[in-house]
Amino acid sequence: MIVEAQVHNKVSDLGLLCETAEVAENNLGVHTIESIADRSYYKIEHTKVCEAAGTAAYVAKLVRSPGIKAGLFPKDTFTYDATTDTLSYPSGETLLPRYKEAMRGTKAISYVNRSACRTCDMRAH
């Protein structure tokens, strides 16, 4: 059931969930509410504010990676293991860290497994 809708001049809904949920609470005459919104509302800081105010916020995480548009896997497809400093690839293979010196004394980390990647069906991704 939709209990609140807004029209505004902002280009995106980003960060408007708390404001919209508060008006919906008033419209319903309740003190807590569960809100479901699409990705355009996703902003982690605002989601935390909503939850602190008693609003359970269910919002799909915004995907911003340009690699996804190119058909690559998003970061959350991989599982990081801090004890071994490795990543688990969606096919189940383990990727090992390779460190390189980067700009201004920082290090760039690439996770690789050349032997597994050569024969992987998902290599293009």
pLDDT of residue 51: 84
Domain annotation covers residue 99? yes
pTM exceeding the 0.85 threshold for the entire prediction: no
**pLDDT of the chain along its 125 residues, tens only?**
777 877 777 767 777 787 888 888 888 888 888 888 887 777 778 778 888 888 888 888 777 777 777 777 877 788 899 999 999 988 888 999 888 877 777 888 888 888 888 888 877 76
Q: Which residues contact 80 (CB under 8 A, 6 or more apart)?
A: 86, 87
H/E stretch holding 47: helix 44-52
**Segments forming the whole domain that contains residue 50:** 1-62
Please state the length of the chain.
125
CA 97 to chain centre: 23
Q: Are residues 47 and 95 in the same domain?
A: no
Q: Considering its fold, how many domains does the chain have in total? A: 2
Residue 47 shares a structural domain with residue 97: no
53, 81: one domain: no
Q: Specify if 123 maps to a domain.
A: no
- The first and second tokens of residue 100, run together, are 């390189």
